[in-house]
Amino acid sequence: MSKSYSTSTIISHEWDFGDGTPVETTPNPVHTYTAAGTYDIRLIVNDDIGCVDTLLSPDKIVTLSFPDFTVDETYFCEGGQAEFTNTTPDSKYLNFLWDYGDGGTDAVPDTTHNFLNYGIHDVSLTAIDTNACNFTKVYPGLISVLKNPTCAFSTDTLNGDCPPVPITFIDSSIGSVECWFWWFGDSQASIIQNPYHIYTYSDTFDVQLAVRDSFGCKDTLLKPKYIRVSGPHGTFDFSPDTGCYPFAVNFNAKVVDTDYMIWGLGDGTVDFFEDVQSGDSLSHEYSYSGTFSPSLILKDLNECVFIIPQKKYLVVEKITASFSNPDDALCTLDSVTFNEAVNSLLFVNLLWDFGDSLTDSISNPMHYYSNYGSYLVRLTISNNFDSACTITVIDTIDLIRPPVINVKPSGSSGCIPLTIDLQYSSVSTNNPVSSWEWIFSDNTTDTGKVVYHTFQNAGTDTVHVISYYKDGFCSKDTFIVINGLGWPQADFSYNPREPSIQDAAIQFLDQSVSAERWQWDFGTGDTSNAKDPEYIYPNNGTYKVRLIVFSNEVCADTVIRDVYISPSDLIEVPNVFSPNADGRNDVLYLINIGIAELLDFRIYNYWGELLFETTDMKEGWDGTYKGKAQASATYVYYITVQPTHSEKPMFMKGNFTLIR
């Protein structure tokens, strides 16, 4: 509602309700909010002379929410707790009031409540806005609280004159109890309904019973100093409780209603005291090791006896120890494993002194000695309870220095079969060699000081020499290497196979096996060291060509072959002929130089057709085939002859031109 005024006439109103709706222009509008929240309301007025005024009304709260809530538990025993969660929309603008139906209330948004009274309870939540408007949400019978059982018990007696005292406990709890938990005050317990319990020592005892019914509801009843058992009782202790013999221990006792004390010290010693003040403390020395269980028996004038329960043991230690290693004497610098044997009732500490200024504290250590010699090894064993519990054992270990071995072969390499003599010698001031053994790779052996052995195989051969010293207890291995050199196999070939003086350049080809170096002698006084040399002979004739090959600097092989250089080609074929009946060069004849025999002479045309064949050196081709003159062209010939200087036939191939 607008209450604006002016000395002039107000002509317009503009209402802004802060919720994004269009501006209202009526003086007194009615506006409906569709959502809860806080809104700023603004009014602007104008008069007829152009004056403007604005009024802002901030933080107007509008609420339209209805309360609601959830709960985590609705069914539990007396004293159970429920947690309530407020789910009311826009709850930050509201105040709340909880009613738990058991007389309890609360005024916070979220809450927890303990229900102490059994029964069914209605729970309600009331929401109140700033305008004092309120709404209430009620859940009838929401919470069901079960009645707890009522714990009660009695006994057939409450007092006993002297332990052991048997007592029967009688449960009288109310409710559907199905579980019982008894504590009798003497560290003993029971889960049966009516237990029978025996008290074994005198004292005053608290008794407690806890019960649980079929719904899980519980109750507990504690009766302090409920049971009294008369007679002597007390406790005792001793210190120290661990040490090495001879071991003095102090005993102290606190006793009540006691007239006599009997100490049993566990080692066969028994002390009896009629004067309690004299017997409540004593000292005793144990003279041998073991685990002892001291005891104290109390007695009163009524002959009631109480044996104080034993709670701990007394340990009197005596350490015995020894150690060993695989060998008291070692032949090489190597790792040595020491194994201790310790007899002790308690955990012990180890300290090894290996005699070379190095120590260790582990069990069964492995130690490496870097020098030969004799070492005094000490093992000290101790514990953490008594400095008197310490023992040291000592042993000696010898690392025997080996002799200097010298094996001198007459040679280290040579061509197989290679015979070498081997001489043995040794140098030692303390540990002389008593015997030795030669072992060869061919599985033969020898024991001489000088031995001869023939190595049959090419390659590296290792000789193993075993030297025995320290009366055969130690041995030393020596190895020498012999290199057996294999023989090469010399061989060669050459091209052309039928050389003539017209083509005297010969390519020699090495075909040797295992050759590493070559020496050629061409039979003319000329030589070469190349593997595959080429050589031009100056004259025809037969030459002895020698090849020496080396597989190393020592082993060599030689091959010698005759090489025949003919004075010229053994046979020639004209390259042109003209069968034109002019009486000149009309027939193609072979030109014979030193031929022993013509084996075959054939002529083919371009298409491979055989036109002429003869074995007669005097017969030539007239350029016809089956009586028909052949055309001018190039033709191919094949000739096989038996030379005079060779046992092998010689084959020739070429071409010529026919011109008409």
Q: Which residue has better confidence, 649 or 326?
A: 649
Q: Domains in the chain, please, with CATH? A: 10-62 (2.60.40.10), 69-146 (2.60.40.10), 153-229 (2.60.40.10), 233-317 (2.60.40.10), 329-399 (2.60.40.10), 404-485 (2.60.40.10), 492-565 (2.60.40.10), 571-658 (2.60.40)
Backbone angles phi, psi at 643, to 5 degrees: -70, 160
- The confidence band for 596, taking pLDDT boundaries of 50, 70 and 90, is low
What pLDDT digit, counting tens, does each position of 261-276 carry? 899 998 899 888 887 7
What pLDDT digit, counting tens, does each position of 216-248 carry? 999 999 999 999 999 998 889 999 888 887 888
Give pLDDT, residue 172: 96
**Whole-angstrom Cα distance, residue 660 to residue 658?**
7
**Residue 80 pLDDT > 70, yes or no?**
yes
Give pLDDT, residue 227: 95
Q: Which residue has better confidence, 7 or 532?
A: 532
The counts of H helices and E strands in the chain are: 1, 62
Query: What mean pLDDT, rounded, does the chain reach?
Result: 87
Q: Once rounded to an integer, what is the mean pLDDT over residues 359-373?
A: 91
**Whole-angstrom Cα distance, residue 574 to residue 572?**
7
The highest-confidence range among 377-381, 589-593, 639-643, by mean pLDDT, is 377-381
Residues 6+ apart with CB under 8 A from 489: 512, 513, 514, 549, 557
Give pLDDT, residue 345: 77
List, as one string, the DSSP characters of 206-269.
EEEEEEEETTS-EEEEEEEEEEEE-S-EEEEEEE--EEESSEEEEEEEEEES-SEEEEE-SSS-
What pLDDT digit, counting tens, does each position of 457-512 carry? 888 889 999 988 888 888 889 999 988 888 899 999 998 877 777 667 899 999 99
Q: H/E element holding 278?
A: helix 276-279
Q: Which residue has better confidence, 134 or 98?
A: 98
Give pLDDT, residue 318: 83
- Cβ-based neighbour number of residue 27 at 10 Å: 15
- The confidence band for 401, taking pLDDT boundaries of 50, 70 and 90, is confident
What pLDDT digit, counting tens, does each position of 608-655 carry? 999 999 998 889 999 999 999 999 999 999 998 887 666 778 788 889
What pLDDT digit, counting tens, does each position of 509-549 carry? 999 998 889 999 999 999 999 999 999 988 888 899 999 99
Query: Considering only 351-355, 417-421, 542-546, 625-629, which range has the smallest mean pLDDT?
Result: 417-421
Q: Once rounded to an integer, what is the mean pLDDT over residues 274-302?
A: 86
**Residue 595 pLDDT > 60, yes or no?**
no
Q: Once rounded to an integer, what is the mean pLDDT over residues 165-176?
A: 95
pTM: 0.43
Give pLDDT, residue 378: 93
Give pLDDT, residue 533: 95
Give pLDDT, residue 250: 93
What pLDDT digit, counting tens, does each position of 19-77 carry? 889 989 888 888 877 766 677 888 888 888 888 888 887 656 555 568 999 999 999 99
- Nearest Cα residue to 200 out of 215, 218, 184: 184
Give pLDDT, residue 184: 97
What pLDDT digit, counting tens, does each position of 106-165 carry? 999 999 999 999 999 999 999 987 777 788 999 999 999 999 999 999 999 999 989 889
Give pLDDT, residue 594: 54
- The confidence band for 9, taking pLDDT boundaries of 50, 70 and 90, is confident
**Residue 327 pLDDT > 70, yes or no?**
no
Side-chain half-sphere exposure of 175, counting CA atoms within 13 A: 23
**Whole-angstrom Cα distance, residue 191 to residue 518?**
110
